[in-house]
Chains A and B, each alone.
Chain A
Amino acid sequence: MSSETTAGPAESTGPVERLHIAGLHAATDAVLSVRDLNVRFNTENGVVHAVRGVDFDLLPGKTLGIVGESGSGKSVTSLAIMGLLPATAEISGSVRLKGRELLGLSDKAMCEYRGNELAMVFQDPLSSLTPVYTVGTQITEALTIHNPTMSRQAKEARAVELLAMVGIPSPKDRLRAFPHEFSGGMRQRVMIAIAIANNPRVLIADEPTTALDVTIQAQVLEVLHRAQEETGAAVVMITHDLGVVAGMADEIMVMYAGKPVETGEVDEIYYNPRMPYTMGLLGAVPRVDVAEKTSLVPIEGMPPNLLHQPTGCSFAPRCPLVSDACLAGEPALAPVAGGVQHRAACIKAESLGGADVDVQDVFAAPPVPVSRFDSIPRTERSTVLQLKDVRKHFPLTRGALFKRRIGTVKAVDGLSFDIREGECFSIVGESGSGKTTTLLEIMEFHKDQDGEVVIGGISNKQAVDAKTKSAMRRELQMVFQDPTGALDPRFTVYEVLAEPLQNVGMDRPAIRKRIMELMKLVGLQPDHVNRFPNQFSGGQRQRIGIARALAVNPKLVVLDEPVSALDVSVQAGVINLLDKLRAELGLSYLLVAHDLSVVRHISNRVAVMYLGKIVEIGEVDRVFDNPRHPYTRALLSAIPVPDPQLERTRERIILQGDLPSPLDAPKGCNFATRCPVFAALPPAKQEKCLTLEPPLEPVAPSAATQALEAAPVPSPDQRFACFFPDGELDEDMLVVHEPADHHAP
Chain B
Amino acid sequence: MTNLNAVDPAAAAQDAHLENADVVIGKNTIIFRRFMRNKTAVAGLAIFLALTLFSFVGGYFTQWDKETIDPFNIGMPPSAEHYLGTSQAGIDLYAMTVEGTRISILIGLIVGLVSVLIAAVYGCTMAYFGGKVDKVMLFVLEALIMMPALLVVAVATSGGGEGLKRDLPSWLLLIIVLLVFSWMGTARLIRSLSMSLMQRDFVKAAQYMGVPPRRIVWRHLVPNIGSLLVLDITRGVTGAILAEVAFSFIGIGIKVPDVSLGVLIGGATSQVQTFPWMFWVPLTVMFLLTGSLAMMNDGLRDAFDPSSSSSGKARKTKARRISAETATMKKKAS
Q: Which of A45, A307, A310, A488 has the most CB of B within 10 A?
A: A488
| B319 contacts across to A, CB distance below 8 A | 45
A490-B7 in contact given A327-B2, A531-B18 (Cβ < 8 Å): no
In the assembled complex, B166 has its CB within 8 A of some CB on chain A: no
Given the complex of chains A and B, what is the CA–CA distance between A163 and B241 in angstroms? 57
A327-B24 in contact given A307-B10, A470-B210, A488-B220 (Cβ < 8 Å): no
Q: Which of B19, B201, B223 has the most CB of A within 10 A?
A: B201
- Please tell me which one of the listed residues A45, A308, A487 contacts residue B312 in the complex, with CB atoms under 8 A apart: A45
Digitize A526-564: 1 where CB-to-B-CB distance is under 8 Å, 0 elsewhere.
011111101100000000010010001000000000000
Digitize B182-207: 1 where CB-to-A-CB distance is under 8 Å, 0 elsewhere.
00000000000000000011101110
Q: When the two chains form their complex, are residues B208 and A528 in contact, meaning their CB atoms are under 8 A apart?
A: no
A317-B21 in contact given A473-B208, A485-B202, A503-B209 (Cβ < 8 Å): no
Q: When the two chains form their complex, are residues B7 and A308 in contact, meaning their CB atoms are under 8 A apart?
A: yes
| A470 contacts across to B, CB distance below 8 A | 210
A492-B211 in contact given A46-B320, A528-B19 (Cβ < 8 Å): no
- Chain B interface size, as a band, is 35 or more
Q: Which of B11, B202, B211 has the most CB of A within 10 A?
A: B202
A477-B209 in contact given A527-B19, A530-B21, A531-B24 (Cβ < 8 Å): yes
- Contacting residues of chain B (203-248) with chain A, CB-CB under 8 angstroms: 204-206, 208-211, 219-220, 223-224
| B11 contacts across to A, CB distance below 8 A | 304-305
Digitize A352-394: 1 where CB-to-B-CB distance is under 8 Å, 0 elsewhere.
0000000000000000000000000000000000000000000
Digitize A16-29: 1 where CB-to-B-CB distance is under 8 Å, 0 elsewhere.
00000000000000
Digitize B1-35: 1 where CB-to-A-CB distance is under 8 Å, 0 elsewhere.
01001111111000000110100100100000000
In the assembled complex, B66 has its CB within 8 A of some CB on chain A: no
- Please tell me which one of the listed residues B7, B210, B316 contacts residue A304 in the complex, with CB atoms under 8 A apart: B7
In the assembled complex, A44 has its CB within 8 A of some CB on chain B: yes
A443-B208 in contact given A45-B312, A480-B201, A490-B224 (Cβ < 8 Å): yes
Q: When the two chains form their complex, are residues B202 and A488 in contact, meaning their CB atoms are under 8 A apart?
A: yes
Chief secondary structure at chain A's binding surface? loop
Q: When the two chains form their complex, are residues B211 and A499 in contact, meaning their CB atoms are under 8 A apart?
A: yes
In the assembled complex, A469 has its CB within 8 A of some CB on chain B: yes
- Contacting residues of chain A (300-355) with chain B, CB-CB under 8 angstroms: 304-305, 307-308, 310-312, 314, 316-317, 324, 327-328
Q: When the two chains form their complex, are residues B224 and A44 in contact, meaning their CB atoms are under 8 A apart?
A: no
| A552 contacts across to B, CB distance below 8 A | 209
Q: Which of A443, A477, A490 has the most CB of B within 10 A?
A: A490
| A149 contacts across to B, CB distance below 8 A | none
| B210 contacts across to A, CB distance below 8 A | 469-470, 473, 503
Shortest distance from the beta carbon of A431 to any chain B beta carbon, whole Å: 17
Q: When the two chains form their complex, are residues B200 and A324 in contact, meaning their CB atoms are under 8 A apart?
A: no
A530-B24 in contact given A45-B316, A480-B201, A500-B209 (Cβ < 8 Å): yes
- Contacting residues of chain A (482-541) with chain B, CB-CB under 8 angstroms: 482, 485-490, 492, 499-500, 503, 525, 527-532, 534-535
Given the complex of chains A and B, what is the CA–CA distance between A297 and B271 in angstroms? 82
In the assembled complex, A204 has its CB within 8 A of some CB on chain B: no
In the assembled complex, B309 has its CB within 8 A of some CB on chain A: yes
Q: When the two chains form their complex, are residues B8 and A499 in contact, meaning their CB atoms are under 8 A apart?
A: no
Q: When the two chains form their complex, are residues A316 and B224 in contact, meaning their CB atoms are under 8 A apart?
A: no
| A307 contacts across to B, CB distance below 8 A | 8, 10
- Which residue in chain A gives the minimum CB-CB distance to B309? A44
In the assembled complex, A721 has its CB within 8 A of some CB on chain B: no
- Contacting residues of chain A (453-487) with chain B, CB-CB under 8 angstroms: 469-470, 473, 477-478, 480-482, 485-487
| B211 contacts across to A, CB distance below 8 A | 499, 503
A478-B205 in contact given A305-B8, A312-B7 (Cβ < 8 Å): yes
Digitize B122-140: 1 where CB-to-A-CB distance is under 8 Å, 0 elsewhere.
0000000000000000000
In the assembled complex, B161 has its CB within 8 A of some CB on chain A: no
Shortest distance from the beta carbon of A500 to any chain B beta carbon, whole Å: 4
| A44 contacts across to B, CB distance below 8 A | 309, 313, 316
Shortest distance from the beta carbon of B305 to any chain A beta carbon, whole Å: 11
Given the complex of chains A and B, what is the CA–CA distance between A118 and B320 in angstroms? 40
| B206 contacts across to A, CB distance below 8 A | 499
- Which residue in chain B gives the minimum CB-CB distance to A322? B6
Q: When the two chains form their complex, are residues A45 and B201 in contact, meaning their CB atoms are under 8 A apart?
A: no
| B2 contacts across to A, CB distance below 8 A | 324, 327
| B316 contacts across to A, CB distance below 8 A | 44-46
Q: When the two chains form their complex, are residues A525 and B19 in contact, meaning their CB atoms are under 8 A apart?
A: yes
A317-B224 in contact given A480-B201, A534-B306 (Cβ < 8 Å): no
A45-B313 in contact given A316-B6, A324-B2 (Cβ < 8 Å): yes
Q: Which of B200, B204, B209, B313 has the most CB of A within 10 A?
A: B209
| A305 contacts across to B, CB distance below 8 A | 7-8, 10-11
| B323 contacts across to A, CB distance below 8 A | 308
Given the complex of chains A and B, what is the CA–CA distance between A482 and B201 in angstroms? 8
Given the complex of chains A and B, what is the CA–CA distance between A304 and B208 in angstroms? 37
- Contacting residues of chain B (287-334) with chain A, CB-CB under 8 angstroms: 306-307, 309, 312-313, 316, 319-320, 323
Given the complex of chains A and B, what is the CA–CA distance between A317 and B11 in angstroms? 12
Q: When the two chains form their complex, are residues A548 and B6 in contact, meaning their CB atoms are under 8 A apart?
A: no
A45-B320 in contact given A312-B5, A317-B6, A478-B205 (Cβ < 8 Å): yes
- Please tell me which one of the listed residues B6, B19, B306, B312 contacts residue A489 in the complex, with CB atoms under 8 A apart: B306
- Which residue in chain B gives the minimum CB-CB distance to A473? B210
| B21 contacts across to A, CB distance below 8 A | 527, 529-530
Q: Which of A311, A473, A487, A499 has the most CB of B within 10 A?
A: A499
Given the complex of chains A and B, what is the CA–CA distance between A356 and B68 in angstroms? 102
| B202 contacts across to A, CB distance below 8 A | 485-488
| A500 contacts across to B, CB distance below 8 A | 209
Shortest distance from the beta carbon of A416 to any chain B beta carbon, whole Å: 23
Given the complex of chains A and B, what is the CA–CA distance between A500 and B223 in angstroms? 19
- Please tell me which one of the listed residues B6, B209, B224 contacts residue A499 in the complex, with CB atoms under 8 A apart: B209
Given the complex of chains A and B, what is the CA–CA distance between A530 and B204 in angstroms? 23
| A328 contacts across to B, CB distance below 8 A | 5
- Contacting residues of chain A (249-286) with chain B, CB-CB under 8 angstroms: 257
- Please tell me which one of the listed residues A327, A535, A545 contacts residue B5 in the complex, with CB atoms under 8 A apart: A327
Shortest distance from the beta carbon of A529 to any chain B beta carbon, whole Å: 8
Shortest distance from the beta carbon of B159 to any chain A beta carbon, whole Å: 36
- Which residue in chain B gives the minimum CB-CB distance to A474? B210
- Contacting residues of chain B (61-115) with chain A, CB-CB under 8 angstroms: none
- Which residue in chain B gives the minimum CB-CB distance to A532? B24
Shortest distance from the beta carbon of A437 to any chain B beta carbon, whole Å: 14
Shortest distance from the beta carbon of A326 to any chain B beta carbon, whole Å: 10
Shortest distance from the beta carbon of B94 to any chain A beta carbon, whole Å: 45
A490-B5 in contact given A478-B205, A499-B206, A531-B24 (Cβ < 8 Å): no
- Please tell me which one of the listed residues B200, B205, B320 contacts residue A548 in the complex, with CB atoms under 8 A apart: B205
| B219 contacts across to A, CB distance below 8 A | 488, 499
A488-B19 in contact given A45-B312, A480-B205 (Cβ < 8 Å): no
Given the complex of chains A and B, what is the CA–CA distance between A470 and B210 in angstroms? 6
Given the complex of chains A and B, what is the CA–CA distance between A45 and B306 in angstroms? 18
| B24 contacts across to A, CB distance below 8 A | 492, 530-532
Given the complex of chains A and B, what is the CA–CA distance between A527 and B219 in angstroms? 24
**Known A304-B8, A312-B6, A499-B219; further 11 A-B contacts with Cβ < 8 A:** A44-B316, A45-B312, A307-B10, A308-B7, A308-B323, A312-B5, A470-B210, A477-B208, A488-B220, A492-B24, A530-B24
What are 19 inter-chain pairs, A to B, with CB distance below 8 A?
A44-B309, A257-B7, A304-B11, A305-B11, A307-B10, A316-B7, A327-B5, A473-B209, A477-B209, A485-B200, A486-B201, A486-B202, A489-B224, A489-B306, A499-B219, A529-B21, A532-B24, A545-B205, A548-B205
Q: Which residues of A contact B (CB under 8 A)?
A: 44-46, 257, 304-305, 307-308, 310-312, 314, 316-317, 324, 327-328, 443, 469-470, 473, 477-478, 480-482, 485-490, 492, 499-500, 503, 525, 527-532, 534-535, 545, 548, 552
Q: Which residues of B contact A (CB under 8 A)?
A: 2, 5-11, 18-19, 21, 24, 27, 200-202, 204-206, 208-211, 219-220, 223-224, 306-307, 309, 312-313, 316, 319-320, 323
